[in-house]
Amino acid sequence: MVQEFGENSSLIIKPAIIAGGPPGEIRPPGPPGVKPVDVEAVAKAIVAGVEGNLIGEIDGNDAITAL
């Protein structure tokens, strides 16, 4: 996911697997050993980018969760 927030700033968020789909939605399992990141954590990272508090690249579920 790439979102431009201005002429010289952008945010790239690279989650491996996102958890938190609608109730009852059936999704294929992710790769073995990869823990999904919660959809709220991804949303928090996006909001931080929109507010101008975060630019650059966030790579992986652990990096997203650590915000």
pLDDT tens per residue across span 4-17: 555 567 888 998 88
| pLDDT per residue as tens digits for the range 14-56 | 988 888 777 777 777 777 888 888 889 999 999 998 888 888 8
- pLDDT for position 41: 93
pTM of the model: 0.73
Higher-pLDDT residue of 1, 22? 22
Q: How many CB atoms lie within 10 A of CB 20?
A: 13
pLDDT at residue 58 greater than cutoff 70: yes
Domain enclosing residue 55, as ranges: 2-22+33-65
14 is a domain residue: yes
Instruction: Tally the domains of the chain.
Output: 1
Classified as helix, coil or strand, 46 is helix
Residue 54 inside a domain? The answer is: yes
Q: 41: closest CA among 18, 11, 9, 57?
A: 18
Is 6 a member of any domain?
Answer: yes
Other CB atoms within 10 A of residue 17 CB: 14
Tokens found for residue 11: 């945010």
Over the range 25-39, which residues count as b (16 or more CB within 10 Å of their CB) and which as e?
eeeeeeeeeeebbee
